[in-house]
Amino acid sequence: MASNHKTYFYYLLGEDNNTWVVKESETPFEEYKEESLVKEEDKKALEEYMEHPYKPKKSEEPTTLQKTKDGKEIIISVKGLTKDYGKGRGIFDISFDVYKGSVFGYCGTNGSGKTTTLRNIMGFIKPDKGTVTVKGLDSWKYASEIKKYIGYLPGEIAFPQVENGTQFLKIQAESIGLTDMSKAESYINALQLDPTANMRRMSKGMKQKTALVAAFMHSPEIIILDEPTTGLDPLMRDVFVHMIKVEKARGATIIMSNHMFDELEETCDYVGFIKDGHLIDVVNMEELRNLPYRDYKIVFEHKEDYENLDLRNVNVLSKDDYEHSILVRVDLKDTNKLITNLNKYPIKSVTEKKHTLEEFFVKDIGGEE
Confidence of residue 261 (pLDDT cuts 50, 70, 90): very high
Structure confidence at residue 35 (pLDDT): 41
- Weakest mean pLDDT among 59-73, 86-100, 115-129, 270-284: 59-73
Q: pLDDT at residue 331 above 60?
A: yes
Q: What is the pLDDT of residues 189-212, one digit of tens each?
A: 999 999 999 988 899 999 999 999
Structure confidence at residue 270 (pLDDT): 97
Q: What is the pLDDT of residues 46-60, one digit of tens each?
A: 666 666 666 555 556
More confidently predicted of 334 and 223: 223
Enumerate residues 6+ apart whose C-beta is below 8 A from 131: 77, 78, 79, 80, 81, 138
Structure confidence at residue 339 (pLDDT): 86
Structure confidence at residue 207 (pLDDT): 94
**What is the edge-to-edge ordering of all strands in the sheet holding 150-153?**
150-153, 222-226, 253-257, 103-107, 270-275, 278-284
| Mean of all residue pLDDT scores within the chain | 84
The DSSP letter of residue 345 is S
* Residues 275-293, mean pLDDT to the nearest whole number: 93
Strand partners, 351: 297
Structure confidence at residue 26 (pLDDT): 45
Q: How far is CA 313 from CA 269, 275, 344, in A?
A: 32, 37, 16
Structure confidence at residue 259 (pLDDT): 85
Q: How far is CA 3 from CA 30, 31, 32, 87, 276, in A?
A: 5, 9, 11, 11, 22
Q: What is the Cα gyration radius of the chain?
A: 25
- Top CATH class of 66-287 equals alpha beta
**Length of the chain in residues, anyone?**
369
Q: What is the pLDDT of residues 134-164, one digit of tens each?
A: 999 999 999 999 999 999 999 888 788 889 9
Q: What proportion of the chain, given as a percentage, has pLDDT over 90?
A: 61
Q: What is the pLDDT of residues 32-84, one digit of tens each?
A: 333 444 445 556 666 666 666 665 555 566 667 888 888 899 999 999 999 99
The reported pTM is 0.79
Q: pLDDT at residue 277 above 90?
A: yes
Structure confidence at residue 51 (pLDDT): 61
Enumerate residues 6+ apart whose C-beta is below 8 A from 42: 10, 119, 124, 125
Structure confidence at residue 42 (pLDDT): 57
Q: How far is CA 230 from CA 153, 225, 233, in A?
A: 11, 11, 9
- Top CATH class of 291-365 equals alpha beta
Q: What is the dihedral of CA 49, 191, 230, 180, to 10 degrees?
A: -10
Q: What is the dihedral of CA 135, 138, 144, 150, to 10 degrees?
A: 30
- Ramachandran area for residue 135 (φ above 0: left; ψ -120 to 50: alpha; else beta): left
Q: What is the pLDDT of residues 333-363, one digit of tens each?
A: 888 888 888 888 899 999 998 888 988 888 8
Grouping H, G, I as helix, E, B as strand and the rest as coil, residue 27 is strand
Grouping H, G, I as helix, E, B as strand and the rest as coil, residue 73 is strand
Q: Are 225 and 257 in contact (CB under 8 A)?
A: yes
Structure confidence at residue 17 (pLDDT): 44
The distance from CA 45 to its chain's CA centroid, rounded to whole angstroms, is 21
Phi, psi dihedrals of residue 368, rounded to the nearest 5°? -75, 145
Q: Where are the domains of the chain?
A: 66-287, 291-365
Q: What is the pLDDT of residues 90-109, one digit of tens each?
A: 999 999 999 999 999 999 98
Q: pLDDT at residue 279 above 60?
A: yes
